[in-house]
Amino acid sequence: MKKTAIEEFFLDNSDFMENISLSKEYMELLGKNDSIYKKLTNTLNEEQKELLDKLIDNHMGLESEASAGYLTIGIKAGLRLLAESLS
């Protein structure tokens, strides 16, 4: 299936992703997440760790899909506003 121009921009444009600035709050949450993950995995056996990692991978896939959808909707809304303001 052919990608839309927005999908190509979002998925294939490494410059786009590299130019995103992460907020201080995001970085703090990321640090907390890492700490919780380490504490939790220290209490799990190997089978449980694998299951947790699969759950996390699945959740990341969901978040990626949601982010792509939000970006598409945001770009379309912005273009509609631009078109309306020019008419």
User: What confidence score (pLDDT) does residue 2 get?
Assistant: 75
How far is it, in rounded angstroms, from Cα 57 to Cα 45? Answer: 18
Backbone Cα Rg of the chain: 18
At 60-74, the pLDDT tens digits run: 999 989 988 898 899
In a domain, 19, yes or no: no
Measured distance between the N- and C-terminal CA atoms of the chain, rounded to whole angstroms: 34
Q: Which domain holds residue 41?
A: 25-86
How many independent structural domains does the chain possess?
Answer: 1
Does the pTM of the predicted model rise above 0.85? no
Is position 33 within any domain? yes
Query: What per-residue confidence (pLDDT) applies to 17?
Result: 66
Whether 30 maps to a domain, the answer reads yes
pLDDT recorded at residue 5: 73
Residue 14 forms part of a structural domain:
no
pLDDT bucket at 78, cuts 50 / 70 / 90: very high
Amino acid at 56: I
**Nearest of 1, 58, 21 to residue 66 by alpha carbon:** 58
**pLDDT (tens digit per residue) in 6-49:** 777 767 666 666 777 889 999 999 999 999 999 999 999 999 99
CA distance 64 to 57: 11
- Kindly state whether residue 80 falls inside one of the protein's structural domains: yes
